[in-house]
Structure 1
Amino acid sequence: MQANATTSRTYALPSIKFQTAAAALAVIAAVALPQIFHVAGAALGLGTALGQTLLPMHLPVLLVGLLAGPYAGVATGAFAPIISFALTGMPMAPMVPFMVIELAAYGLFAGLLRGMSLPASIPSPIAWLIKLLGAQVAGRVVDAIAIAVAVYLLGNAQMSVASVAAAVVTGLPGLILQWIAIPMIMFAVDRKRD
């Protein structure tokens, strides 16, 4: 809903029914997409590298946060890795708590930033890209803090804070995919709302 040409669009939270349905569908997508990518990676002789590069679990979590708000985003981010592990054994058990924290943070911040006011002069896809970037940076910061706590306070020798930077570099193609796909999807949603 746009008040006038000088203010930005505001986004009220959708109904509880919509948030619940969106979160359920996003969890299904966040569990299924990595499996599809792993099968494709195996067929191409890449193993799990395709999934690590294209970040298929992140996409539905970020998208549902922007579409349905912080509650749906957090729920999707928290449940998807747990359900995926229970059904498929992936991610590996030591990674599950970190993925829950990271993905829940992505969903939370995407949901919180969906309502952020930006000038109406900023084109819709660029506005959504700004919000997406904010959620991605915040999620990575939370992930780095969780890993730092595990390494420095809990003595986890399997993790390192440098792994956050390495994950960003490895996942750059997935980030680029998100930077293109998510703003375009949200722009299409905006056009439907108008």
Structure 2
Amino acid sequence: MMQNVQVLKITRTKEIIFSAVFTALAIYAPMVVHHFAGVDGGRKFLPMPFFVLLAGLTLGWRAGIAAGLASPVISFLLSGMPMLNILPIIIIQLSAYGFLAGILKEKFNGFIAPAGAIVLGLILTGFAVFLFSEMNAAAYVINAVRDGWVGIALQLLILPIIIKFSRDYLFD
């Protein structure tokens, strides 16, 4: 069911502040997850994509792209993660997530926008792996879904609730 759903209407100043907050959370959350869940916790719980998707879903595609571009680069500079050999792929993946979340949120409500952003983002990730890496693109995407199914499920459960809450209580 297609709807014309607008992203949150906020001032430019608030948009910049919230974009910076979501980017900072996308950088800091993986560090926390790695501390408590170990090295593989990031691949399992997907904390960086969570906040990039949230930026796109709440603030629109521009903020989603900004968070998707900035968070892996800044995270790499601060912590060395994601690893340099996959950094370009992660930048493309997260930028796609943020952009697609913002675009899809303009037309769809609830579950469809984050689900569509994740599925289409994974397809674009496969193309990025194919074009910019010697890894097997299909295996990369399949492994990403296999390892990250918990994080994907949490994103699909939690993000629509956060979007509804933020629309109902924070910005109106």
Does the CA-based 8 Å contact 1:13-1:69 persist in structure 2? no
Q: Which runs of 5+ in 2 are unaligned?
A: none
- Counterparts in 2 of 1:95 and 1:190: CA distance versus 1, 3 Å: same
Q: Which letter does structure 1 place at the counterpart of 2:115?
A: L
> May I ask how many residue pairs the two structures share in their alignment?
168
1:27-42 correspondence to structure 2 within 5 Å: 27-41=23-37
Once the 2 structures are TM-superposed, how far is the Cα of residue 16 of structure 1 from its aligned partner? 2.4
Contact 2:8 2:167 in 1 (8 A): no
User: 1:184 and 1:13 mapped to 2: Cα distance?
Assistant: 18
Report the Cα distance in structure 2 between the residues aligned to 1:109 and 1:77, rounded to whole angstroms: 11
* Match among 56, 59, 68 for residue 50 of structure 2: 59
For residue 191 of structure 1, report the CA deviation from its aligned partner.
2.2
CA root-mean-square deviation: 1.7
Confirm whether residue 48 of structure 1 aligns to residue 25 of structure 2.
Answer: no
Cα deviations across residues 123-155 of structure 1 (Å, max 9, x unaligned)?
A: xxxx321111111111111111111112xxxxx
Change in Cα spacing, 1:67 to 1:166, as seen in structure 2 (3 Å) is same
1:190 aligned residue: 167
Contact 2:73 2:87 in 1 (8 A): yes
Greater Rg by CA = 1
Tell me if the contact between 1:66 and 1:110 (Cα under 8 Å) persists in the aligned partners: yes
Cα distance 1:129–1:61, how it changes in 2: closer, same or farther (>3 A)?
Answer: same
Q: 2:88 aligns with which of 91, 97, 100?
A: 97
CA distance, structure 1, for counterparts of residue 41 and residue 9 of structure 2? 34
- Asked whether the equivalents of residues 18 and 68 of structure 1 are also in contact (C-alpha less than 8 Å), the reply is no
Instruction: Flag structure 1 segments of 5+ consecutive residues without an equivalent.
Output: 1-6, 42-46, 119-126, 151-155
What TM-score do you get using the length of structure 1 for normalisation?
0.81
Query: Which one has the bigger helix percentage?
Result: 2
Write out aligned runs for 1:9-158 (5 A). 9-11=5-7, 14-41=10-37, 47-116=38-107, 118=108, 127-150=109-132, 156-157=133-134
